[in-house]
């Protein structure tokens, strides 16, 4: 299960991460967000040690989503070496998510 993070954890968990990180900006009331849970869990296992997967509840943590202009959920942002390198919005298939992550971290 991807680690839930808060605004206060963002710097240490994502920007300072030694490996690329994928942040899932979500909310518990969001249907498409819920549909992505098993896919995000599977990808976390497949990329273990190579990519970090974390989740941020936008209802509980308004600062970071606003900073990165998250307007729709789910939004996934890939961070590499402390910078946002790729953003994708909306529910995706596992294969599409893997392709997007691979392209972003290449």
Active-site positions read 30, 33
Q: What is the CATH number of the domain that holds 80?
A: 3.40.30.10
Specify the pLDDT at position 65: 98
Whether 1 has a pLDDT exceeding 90, the answer reads no
Nearest-angstrom CA–CA distance, 80 and 1? 21
| 95: containing domain | 3-105
C-alpha distances in angstroms, 102 versus 14, 48, 50, 80, 95? 17, 13, 11, 12, 10
Number of structural domains the chain divides into: 1
Q: Tell me the pLDDT band of 83, cut-offs 50, 70 and 90.
A: very high
Question: What are the residues whose beta carbons fall under 8 Å from the beta carbon of 80, sequence distance 6 or more?
Answer: 20, 21, 104, 105
What is the mean pLDDT of the segment spanning 46-71?
97
């Amino acid at each position: 299960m991807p680690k839930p993070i808060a605004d206060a954890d963002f710097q240490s968990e994502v920007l300072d991460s030694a490996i690329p990180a994928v942040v899932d900006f979500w909310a518990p009331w969001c249907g498409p967000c819920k549909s992505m849970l098993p896919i995000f869990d599977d990808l976390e296992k497949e990329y273990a040690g190579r990519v970090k997967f974390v989740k941020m509840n936008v209802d509980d943590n308004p600062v970071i989503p606003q900073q990165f202009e998250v307007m729709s959920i789910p939004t996934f942002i890939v961070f590499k070496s402390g910078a946002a390198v790729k953003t994708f919005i909306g529910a995706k298939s596992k294969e599409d998510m893997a392709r997007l992550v691979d392209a972003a971290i290449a």
